[in-house]
Chain A
Amino acid sequence: MNLQELNGKLSQIKDKLIAIEQKTANRIFLSCEADNAYAVNKFLFEDVGCRFVIATGIDSDDCFEVLYHYSYDQTGCVITIKAFIRDRQQPAIESITPFLPAAEWIEREIHDILGIDFKGHPNLRRLILADDWPEGVYPLRKEVKK
């Protein structure tokens, strides 16, 4: 899928996106605010028919980012949704697990290590940190020093 084809499909949710960038022939980035991430994910998964690959959590300079990576398998195009979470004190984003069960564990992992609250997640328990790890300490945040 190239940018033109995707652009045609994206026309319905264009108002929810901040930017659409094509870095190479098979690599497209869609940026959006955290509030719109759920709708963009749902559109890409259900309407465009992309396959969810993985999500990434990043502690950026002024915000948290959650990157949802999708693959459009007919052409091998990888599409990444960048969701910006501006609230550093109580970072939260809507969970995509209700319509995409494959995202359950990666959302739990991001919650563990970055402390991002996935609203509507059915089972947001600790996944990878040690049992004796203190509550409320998120090891991959920038302010945490060993």
Chain B
Amino acid sequence: MNWKIWSLKKSPWVFHVNAGACNNCDIEIVDLLTPKFDVERFGIKLVGSPRHADALLVTGVGTRQAAIRLREVYRQIAKPCVVFCIGACACGTGIFHTGYHVAGPVDQIIKEVDPNAIIAYVPGCPPKPEAMISGIVKALSVL
């Protein structure tokens, strides 16, 4: 196994990006990081800069204003990395599909920067922390 992939799977440090979410998914992500769910047993740790991160937890629909920032954050993150679309909005814009402020689902925005990006989807409104753990473990196990 490529040592880069090995180290990514061993301990994925995550950076949380809000791309226009209603804060519901963000609160569930904060829940996910509490001792109750104890994701550090999988080596998952929240970091404060995309340059330290292996994975992006993206919530929200990807508004026009946030899409520019999201692309910039993706450019700055060390590759290889995994992008997790957390919630119904990030996965496919959800109920905001026809909104005037929507720049597209998160995967489209990321693929404008890097067509070969590794993207995982965790649907739900909001997804439970258990669902996020399951999604992260599934995504890392196929790498």
Contacts and interface: CB of A to CB of B under 8 A. Distances in A.
From B68, B98, B99, B100, residue with most partner A Cβ within 10 Å: B100
Q: Is the interface of A mostly helix, strand, loop or mixed?
A: loop
A146 B100 contact: yes
A133 B98 contact: no
B65 interface: yes
B63 A130 contact: yes
B111 interface: no
Interface residues on B, range: under 10
B65 A139 contact: no
Interface of B: 63-65, 68, 98-101
Interface in A104-143: 129-133, 139-140
Contact of A133 (B64, B68, B99): B64
Contacts of A139: 100-101
Interface residues on A, range: under 10
Contacts of A131: 65
Contacts of B65: 130-131
A130 B100 CA distance: 10
A40 B102 CA distance: 38
B64 A144 contact: no
B61 to A, nearest CB: 13
Nearest to B97: A146
Contacts of B101: 129-130, 139
A105 B142 CA distance: 49
A146 B98 contact: yes
Nearest to A132: B64
